[in-house]
Amino acid sequence: MTKSTPLHGLHQSLGAKLVPFAGWEMPLQYEGVIAEHLWCRSNAGLFDVSHMAVIELWGADAATALERITPAGITTLAVGRQRYGLLLNDTGGVVDDFMVTNWGEHLTMVANASRRDADMAFLSQHLDDVDIVERPDISLIAIQGPRAAEAVASLSTDGPELIDEMVFLDNRLAALATGSGPVSVAVARSGYTGEDGFELAVDGADVQALAEALLANEAVKPAGLGARDTLRLEAGLCLYGNDLDETTSPVEADLVWSMPKRRREAGDFLGAARVQAELADGPSRVRVGLAPGGKRPVRDGATLSGTGHTDGSAGTVSSGGFGPSVERPVAMAYVHPDLKESGTELEADVRGKSVACTVADLPFAPHNYRR
C-alpha cells in the first residue's frame, strides 16, 4: 500500500508529477527539474519531505545511549542545536545517515524514508534503555534557497528576528502565521541542497496551511524530488542507497568530519574497529567528486578505469547526472585511494562507451550556509 503525505492534494493541485518513492507517492517535479533547481538556487524552493522518518529518543541517558551506535558527538550537542550523524553496524557499515536535534528533554532524529524499518529495528535492538517514539503525525517541509529566510521570517508572529538571528543547524520552536491562524513549528536552519534554508517540522494537520502560507510568497515555488537530487549532488552530499549503504564506512565515504576526535580516539561505538583501522591505514576505496568531460551524464553503476587500475577496477560511480547550476554533468564515485587526488584522469564505462572523467573537488556548487 503506497502512502501519501498530508500535502498530496496540494501537490496534485500544483500539477505535480507524482511517483512512487520508498513506499510513498511523492512529487518528482512540478514545472520541471531544471527550472525548480535553478529557482531554488536563486530564490526559494519548497519541498515536501514528510515521507522522512521522525524518531524521538526519550530518557535521561538517551544521548549517551545513541553514542553507542553512532560516532557523532551527541552528548556534546547543545540544546536547540542539530547535527549530522551516521548509524553504524558492527562491521562499521552505514545503517543510515540522520540529522539529530537536542530538545533538552529528548532527542529528535530525522532519517531516510527508505530506511525507516531498518532504523527502527536497529534502534530497538541497541537502545533498550531508551524510549523510542516514532512520530508519523509530524510532517516535514524543507524551504531552501537564498530567499528562504525572508519567507519564513515574514511569517514569524514573534517578529522576523526570531528567524533571522538563527545560524546553520540551530533549531527552535516558533509560531508561524497561516491562513488558519498561527501554527507551532520546529524551525531548523538546515537542509540538503547546499543552500541556506530551513526544515520545518509541524503537525500533519497544520502542514498544508503552512505550505500554502509559504507558497503565497512570490519568492517561493514548489520543488520535487528530482530537483532535490540534483541540488544535493551538486552540493556533494551523500544519498543513502547510492553513496552510502551497509557496506560503506564513514572513512570511505569521506565523512570523517562527522566523527569528532573524542569519538574517533575512544572508539566507543559499534563498528569502531573498522573505523579506527581505516583511519590508521587508509580505506580500500574513497568517495570523490567526478567531473565527466563533455555533455554525456555518467550515472550510478558506471565502472571506472585509471592508471594501474584497468578494466573497471578503479572504482564505481555512486551518483551522477546533469548539474543544472554548473551546466554540465557531475558525479560522485568510490575510487581506489591511488586515484583520489583531484585532477586524476579516469575513464567511465557508460553502457559500453568510454567517457573521460576527472576527479574533482566537492562540492560542485558552493555551499551557502548561514554560519
Partner 1 sequence: MLAPENLRYSSDHEWIKSEEGGRVRVGITDFAQDALGDIVFVELPELDAAIEAGASIAEVESTKSVSDIYAPVSGKVVEVNDELNDEPQKLNSDPYGDGWIFVVEVQDQAQVDALLDAAAYGELTEG
Among 8, 299, 336, 340, contact with partner 1 (rule: CB under 8 A): 299
- Total interface residues for partner 1 by CB under 8 A: 18
Q: Is 293 in the site for partner 1 (CB under 8 A)?
A: no
Among 321, 334, 347, 348, contact with partner 1 (rule: CB under 8 A): 321
Q: How far is the CB of 39 from partner 1 (least distance, A)?
A: 13
Q: Which among 258, 252, 255 has a CA at the least distance from the CA of 274?
A: 252
Q: Is 21 in the site for partner 1 (CB under 8 A)?
A: no
Contact between residue 55 and residue 134 where contact means Cβ atoms under 8 Å apart: yes
The 30-69 contact track toward partner 1, x by CB under 8 A, reads: --xxxx----------------------------------
Which string of DSSP letters, residue by residue, matches 164-213? HT--TTBEEEEEE--TTS-EEEEEES--SSSSSEEEEEEETTTHHHHHHH
What is the SS3 assignment for 280-342? HHCCCCEEEEEEECCCCCCCCCCEEEECCECCCECEEEEEEEEECCCCEEEEEEEECHHHCCC
Q: Is 29 in the site for partner 1 (CB under 8 A)?
A: yes
Contact between residue 62 and residue 56 where contact means Cβ atoms under 8 Å apart: no
Element spanning 361, H or E: none
Q: Is 23 in the site for partner 1 (CB under 8 A)?
A: no
Among 108, 112, 144, 230, contact with partner 1 (rule: CB under 8 A): 230
Q: How far is the CB of 305 from partner 1 (least distance, A)?
A: 21
Element spanning 371, H or E: none
CB nearer partner 1, residue 28 or residue 57: 28
Contact between residue 185 and residue 202 where contact means Cβ atoms under 8 Å apart: yes
Using the contact rule CB under 8 A, the part of the chain among 77-85, 137-145, 237-245, 317-325 near partner 1 is: 317-325
Q: Is 322 in the site for partner 1 (CB under 8 A)?
A: yes
Measure the CA angle with vertex 210, ends 43 and 17; round to 5°.
Answer: 65
327 Cβ neighbours under 8 A, 6+ residues apart: none
Q: Is 295 in the site for partner 1 (CB under 8 A)?
A: yes
Q: How far is the CB of 28 from partner 1 (least distance, A)?
A: 8
User: What are the residues binding partner 1 (CB under 8 A)?
Assistant: 17, 28-29, 32-35, 226, 230, 295-297, 299, 321-322, 324, 329, 351
